[in-house]
Amino acid sequence: MASLPIDPNSLLPNSQRKELVKQGIDYLEQWLIDMIRIGVLQYDFSHSSMREISSRMVDAKMGGVARRLRGLATLDKSDQNWLENLLGELASIYLLVSSFKKIDELPINLQHSIYSVSGFSIQKKQLATSDGIQDLWMIMGIKLEEEENLKARYCWVMGSNSKRSALLLDFAFGRTAFESQLKFSQSYHGKLVYYPGSFPFRGFLINPVSTPKKNSFPGTFPHFTKFLDVYAHAVSKNPFMNSFPVAVRDVMMITSEESWELVDIENNAIPISNASEKLWPLFASQGGDRMAVFGIWNGDKIELLSATIAGHHYQL
């Protein structure tokens, strides 16, 4: 079946959904103002306190914002960077509020990115006939999260020929299984379709067929400088991107007093966010060899999801 052009405007929320979001944004803006008046250091960011404002966001069909607000309660106050991390999250939420205030004036692809961050989802069937990329997609890393009765699976893939990366994000409620059973040990033939956005990175596979994974990553950056240049470009297109996929070769892990860093071939270092118990087995397997790693960069630290050492794959 030939691909058909889709009007991006037809994929935006309907007028009723937009009105709900507007009401939620107005409430969120007032909450931010009240919080600043009280003072960031004096405000109660406990789970019970954040439950009220996050519930308001759920009512406004802004589940993505609700999760970010609940996340403020999970920030560790004993961390020396707690205030910096908190202010960074609040600034990002305020940027979202400001963007919604003038969303109709923004480019259509950026509108899609903003609505996606807020929690609006486009159904796969709406994009099933659109252009995609036919490739062999390697599973680069899988991360599972669970909140109350909702399970989320973040599965990152990379095309063997296209070298494009994509996030396959799936949800399951209660004891329900995920729609597709993707395995870290496999690659999948199929067409990948990206959801619209100013820097598309989330997508889905159509009729994937599994095959054993190859020994090496399809594409890797030679050093951190190169990937940080690409990351800067991505953020310039989509300022709400806080999870950037990156694969880098010829790196080594180093550790000192429970602090972990990744060092590239140019001897530049970036911090690793994984817990130590997740890293020690990989550190032991590394020996004195350099390796290729795949992880998620949040603008400050990298969370490692997988690595290859001498042709062997390791999942964290």
Which range among 71-75, 202-206, 308-312 shows the weakest confidence by mean pLDDT?
308-312
Mean pLDDT on 105-111: 92
Q: Which amino acid is at 10?
A: S
CA 61 to chain centre: 20
103 and 34, same domain (yes or no): yes
203 and 252, same domain (yes or no): no
CATH number of the domain encompassing residue 297: 2.40.50
14 and 62, same domain (yes or no): yes
**Residue finishing a domain among 118, 136, 159:** 118
- The residues, any chain, with a CB within 8 Å of residue 187's CB and separated by 6 or more, are 136, 137, 138, 139, 160, 210, 211, 212, 213, 214
**Residue finishing a domain among 178, 212, 246:** 212
pLDDT interval class at 1 (50, 70, 90): very low
Q: What is the pLDDT of residues 269-286, one digit of tens each?
A: 999 999 889 999 998 888
Tokens representing residue 129 in the block: 């006939």
Mean pLDDT on 93-113: 92
176 and 270, same domain (yes or no): no
Q: Does 161 map to a domain? A: yes
Which single residue is written with the structure tokens 């972990």?
A: 260
Q: Does 229 map to a domain? A: yes
Q: What is the pLDDT of residues 205-228, one digit of tens each?
A: 988 999 988 777 888 899 999 999
The pLDDT score that the predictor gives to residue 303 is 95
Q: How many domains does the chain have?
A: 3
192 and 246, same domain (yes or no): no
Measured from the Cβ of residue 153, the count of other Cβ atoms closer than 10 Å reads 18
pLDDT interval class at 233 (50, 70, 90): very high
The pLDDT score that the predictor gives to residue 288 is 79
Tokens representing residue 196 in the block: 């619209």
Q: Does 4 map to a domain? A: no
pLDDT at 5 over 80: no
pLDDT interval class at 4 (50, 70, 90): low
**Residue finishing a domain among 118, 144, 159:** 118
pLDDT interval class at 125 (50, 70, 90): confident
Q: In whole angstroms, what is the distance from residue 212 CA to residue 52 CA?
A: 47
pTM: 0.88
Structural domain boundaries enclosing 198: 124-212
Q: Does 183 map to a domain? A: yes
pLDDT at 166 over 90: yes
